[in-house]
Chain A
Amino acid sequence: MAADLWTALFIALLAAFTGYEVIGRVPVLLHTPLMSGSNFIHGIVLVGAIVALGIATTPLEQAIGLVAVIMGAMNVTGGYVVTERILAMFDRSKKKGGGAA
């Protein structure tokens, strides 16, 4: 196995513990934004999709790469907007006035 893969494996190991520790004590109140927020963060897949389409040469590769970019872009924008909308409702500074209406 190439050295890069081993490096990536070490990194993944640390990232796994980081993810576990960072999330460990999230209150039930924030379970939805947490899930939606992590949904947004795996939208980083868009970066991979750009690279995949960027180095695609045959029409078939390009077509699949385009699908990847479209889906990745949907993941990242949709994930962000949904999370933002949910968190806006928990925002106290805005809530003080007149409720949700």
Chain B
Amino acid sequence: MTNYLPDVVNAVYVVAVLVFILGLKAMSSPETARRGIMFAGIAMLIAVAVTFLSPGLSNFALIALGIFIGGGLGYYWARVVKMTAMPQMVAVFNGMGGGAAAAIAAVELLGSLSGATAALSVAGAVIGSISIAGSVIAFLKLQGWMRSQPIVLPARQPVNFAVLIVGAGFGVGSLVLGHPLYLLPFFVLLLVYGILLTLPIGGADMPVVISLFNALTGIAVALDGFALVNGPLGDAGYAMVIAGTLVGAAGSLLTILMARAMNRSISNVLFGAFGQTQDSGGPIQGTMKPIEPEDAAVMMEYAGQVVIAPGYGMAVAQAQQKVKELADLLEAKGVTVKFAIHPVAGRMPGHMNVLLAEAGINYDKLFDRDEINPELANTDVVLVIGANDVVNPAARRAGSPLQGMPILDVDRAKNVLVIKRGQGRGFAGIENDLFYGDNTRMLYGDAQAVVGKLVQALKKS
């Protein structure tokens, strides 16, 4: 019996890996996605369960305790958290994965490793540590416990680089000299590097950063897997190599897509401290013209098509429920309502889609930038809710810091209504030409309050 046990464990890992791939595949359509994650969940559960059967393990009580604590905390947090806090939750759970990868590498390095295996463990520790420290900073920024603007320290680039090099040096030192005491400064410096790396990154760049740390954790897990395959219990290592690499590749692709949606390179997002510039890009002709909610409501009521372009401001004001009400009222009056979603609107990839889906808006009405842009010129009214940089026509102008960023062409619509909290600039610190357009009218105030007024006005008429 005992002889067959390793084969059983291996067979389960093989099946689990297959289901992971199919589960990810199912993520490409809303019809199948839910089934995909459920199957992946079952596969994960079985993979974890059979790991207990691996020969030569001990400390079962501690393992059970750890799973109980971690699983309980994870389950509780993920259940109680509001949908609006989703970006920081994803950041936290991702950071935990990175931390686990770093800790596994630490255990491996404390044991007697040598050669390639040890080097791979060091690499896993480096990436895992950066991932957890960076994810925690991202969490603090998203949660509002830390300023979301870029925090730029003097001589940032050389200092960061020095921290990374010295930290990695301690890691290599611990390998060469075989002294575990070097591991302490190694991990401390790498955690510091993860923090320093993330501090100068501003809120609007979070979709890229969260996705990047997700990919990094995947890579750290894969590296740990490499280190494990050589050990006495190699089977678990292969599962980690595949699952980790899968996530690393998928996450890297998503990160690139996000960066491309802003027409910036990943290194520019990481090292550019974007949003710190106060360059206004030259004076703008015209003035901002306010409009009363009642007049705005009439304008939308008599439109053939209204396109709503939401941004982070909608999420902050938690206005999505009111927006759903507004859309329902307009549709009841025979107006076609569509939503224009910019890929990097909000604080994580696909953020707006999640919020609108939560409010009960059918995803058939949500349109990607490339789908909706050709229609905007023939749209009677565009309602911009708390979006700024993603609708700034300055992106089309040479010399603007936003130059080349693909935007929602809302300024080409016949009429534009903009709901905005105040007269300030967007995250990027750049004046928005849209607000000064002849066809633009401004609705000042909190998004939820203003949309509420629009709903009231529509109900009366």
Which A positions have Cβ atoms within 8 angstroms of B? 1-2, 4-5, 7-9, 11-12, 15-20, 22-56, 58, 60-62, 64-92, 95, 98-101
Contacts and interface: CB of A to CB of B under 8 A. Distances in A.
Contacts of B20: 41, 44
A9 B228 CA distance: 13
A15 B245 contact: yes
Contacts of B62: 53, 62, 65-66, 69
Q: Is the interface of A mostly helix, strand, loop or mixed?
A: helix
Contacts of A50: 48, 51-52, 57, 63, 67, 236
26 contacts: A5-B116, A11-B242, A12-B222, A22-B28, A32-B351, A34-B24, A35-B214, A37-B23, A38-B24, A39-B93, A39-B217, A42-B97, A44-B239, A45-B100, A46-B48, A47-B48, A47-B51, A55-B56, A62-B62, A67-B100, A71-B100, A77-B70, A82-B86, A84-B38, A92-B362, A99-B324
Q: Which residue of B89, B100, B357 has the most chain A CB atoms within 10 A of its CB atom?
A: B100
B217 A87 contact: no
B96 A75 contact: yes
Interface residues of B, number: 123
A28 B86 contact: no
Contacts of B37: 33, 37, 40, 80, 83-84, 87
A51 B117 CA distance: 16
Contacts, number: 405
Contacts of A91: 34
B78 A52 contact: no
A99 B234 CA distance: 48
B236 A41 contact: no
Q: Which residue of B21, B90, B231, B341 has the most chain A CB atoms within 10 A of its CB atom?
A: B90
Contacts of B51: 47, 50-51
Interface stretch (B103-111, B270-278, B396-404, B442-450): B103-111
